[in-house]
Amino acid sequence: MFVMQNPPGTTTTMKREPDPGQFPAEYFINRELSLLKFQQRVLAQAGDERVPLLERLRFLCIVSSNLDEFFEIRVAGLKEQIKLGSLAGGADGLTPQEVYRRVTDEAHAIVARQYTLLNGNILPALEQEGIVILRRTHWTAEQRAWVHSYFEREVMPVLTPIGLDPAHPFPRVLNKSLNFAVELEGLDAFGRDSGAAIVQAPRALPRVIQLPKSISGLDHCFVFLSSIMHAHVGDLFEGMNILGCYQFRVTRNSDLFVDEEETKNLRAALQGELPQRHFGDAVRLEVADNCSEAMAEFLLQQFGLSGPDMYRVHGLVNLVRLIRVPDWVGRPDLKYPAFRPGRPKTLDKRSDIFEVMRKQDVLLHHPFQSFNPVIDLLNAAADDASVLAIRMTVYRTGTDSVLMESLLRAAQKGKEVTVVVELMARFDEEANLSIAARLEEAGAHVVYGVVGYKTHAKMLLIVRREDSDATRVGVLRRYVHLGTGNYHPRTSRLYTDFGLLTANEEIGADVNEVFKQLTGLGRAGELKHLWQAPFTLHSNLIAAIQAEADAARAGRKGRIIAKMNSLLEPIIISALYEASEAGVQIDLIVRGVCALRPGVSGLSENIRVRSVVGRFLEHSRIFYFYADGQENTYLASADWMERNAFRRIEVCFPVLDGRLKRRVMKEGLRPYLQDNAQAWSMDGSGNYAAVSSRRTRSIAQESLLLDLAASTLAH
């Protein structure tokens, strides 16, 4: 088996991306098909009666949101390849045409399962709890009158029905918008008889409306906008006979194309491209299951789609809209128990965070521990007269982030604030453009990283002038935060991630060097501790894997445990196979896509792969190597994918403190290897089976909520 290695002395040389054809195709599982397997695992949460009822509805909506992006990006990419006549396959050897056929079959099965769960299980269970979504066929006369008044007052004034005739061609339909295709007969006031019309629901209108208790008799009773519009479509075409009214929704290619090599101003180019996202090529059509064959064919023709691209659904065409319902319903008994993130005892609110970091490294484990120490650090830096400079990367942070407010305040106070904003963070481009503009107005230096490479590293660097303990002479000291997740306070309560607060001089120098690369020009300097993509991360990972293999061949212990979101990179997979053959015991905790085949005789007998899907989105990247007893432990912003290794700026950083190393193992790895309730075990064919045990249920996330939050200060 061939594994690419760097020649000695080339640790900072950028490596070329692997050629998928250099490895046997049978070693790999297709990315798109593996991603759909993940959606099935998420959907299983919606079908699990042990999960609180409103959370089951939320999981159902999450699958719809995930599928939207899957079609907007992954299926759109497949269609582009097919259109261009590409026959080239990925590492798995499947052609785009083969992948598209198999993906379509899997996606149809997932969507069918979604609506079966919704209509057959979740909605009836909600109704038993007094949470009702009223279908229009069940409205009472009083409810019908209220809905009619709502339609006349809130909906009718903003609708623009479009009759289809030579003067009114088929309208441009926005990506993922709610629309109605109406079949008509009869003549209008001008003697026209087009037979069809389109009604587009403005995005400003809520898709789910709560009925007053005085009308419904219930605390939580809802109607869909689609039901309201369907019931009153006749009001839009007075004097015409309505033969049919069918809701539909089209999903479009939403991948932005900006030629970074030709672009002089990336920000301006992106601003020009964003409006086109709503009108990319159609990739999927969702229609109500009562849609006539004639209308379905007409819609497919209008969007340039074929039969397999159409999904007939029994209910709302956009289940994502239901995700707000759990938030509106005040039933804690039907949701996950509320929790308060803990806070490390070393960081009580009275402590000087800079003093704490000088004395020791601090490890934060979100969401079990609060993200507030990171906010506190930036707040302290913004207000501290001794702080001279702040540098930070921004990938996703939200439009109303308190972190941005601290950066703005620091810039306004005259500190040197430099922010590396990643403009190409998918679906966050507009928010990041807004953030960049506000920071620039406040006097901060805003840069957009390196053309052709997404800045995905999560780094905060603070430079502070303070007295030396020995000489009392002012010296500059660096304070650093590094994380596996985004600087996003809201998602820090929903995603599992680790963050490290440190004043380690060597790590501070490494982070400073990476910022120099991002903002300036010059060759990449050598780093003492950090592994950085696209320079050293990949080669160092390969070297660490091979070192474990060498140890096993020599009769010593070889052990690898790695946790990540996705595993796709073929050279790393090949190295893992070699390590397995050498006798290294390998456990991989891969939340989503995994192209490696575990447990295959003669190839990967010593590799186990599991995925954990639960209340929180597993987002941490942790890499553990036994290293002859040194137990090298790393946290990273990067998954083991080609894009992270070769087309992104990423950092992987060591946990140097032995006490914190043990914490990472105790909290980030061991509970997930022991989970027998929310874990799924993968076989060599890419299929997953739920892990179950007759012993006491062990749930990693629940045990961490109980143990970690209880053992730290309540926040």
- The residues that are catalytic are 456
In sequence order, the 6+-apart residues with CB closer than 8 A to the CB of 470 are none
**Phi, psi (deg, nearest 5) at residue 515:** -65, -35
Q: Where are the beta strands (DSSP E) in 2-45?
A: none
> What are 10's two structure tokens?
């080339």
Residue 390 β-bridge partners: 417, 462
Q: Whole-angstrom Cα distance, residue 523 to residue 513? A: 10
- 3-state helix, strand and coil shares in percent for the chain, rounded to the nearest 5: 40, 20, 35
Number of other CB atoms surrounding residue 94 within 10 Å = 20
Contact 464, 308 (CB under 8 A): no
3-state secondary structure of 499: strand
Amino acid at the residue 483: G
Closest C-alpha to 318, from 160, 233, 205, 152: 205
> 644: buried, middle or exposed (CB in 10 Å: 19+, 13-18, 0-12)?
buried
> Residue with structure tokens 């709610």?
178
Rounded to whole angstroms, how far apart are CA atoms 234 and 136? Answer: 15
As a whole number of Å, the CA-based R_g of the chain is 28
CA distances from 38 to 108, 112, 495 (A): 15, 16, 16
Q: What is the CA 80 to chain-centroid distance, rounded?
A: 23
Helix (H, G, I), strand (E, B) or coil at 236: helix
Q: Could you write out the three-class secondary structure of 144-176?
A: HHHHHHHHHHHHHHHCCCEECECCECCCCCCCC
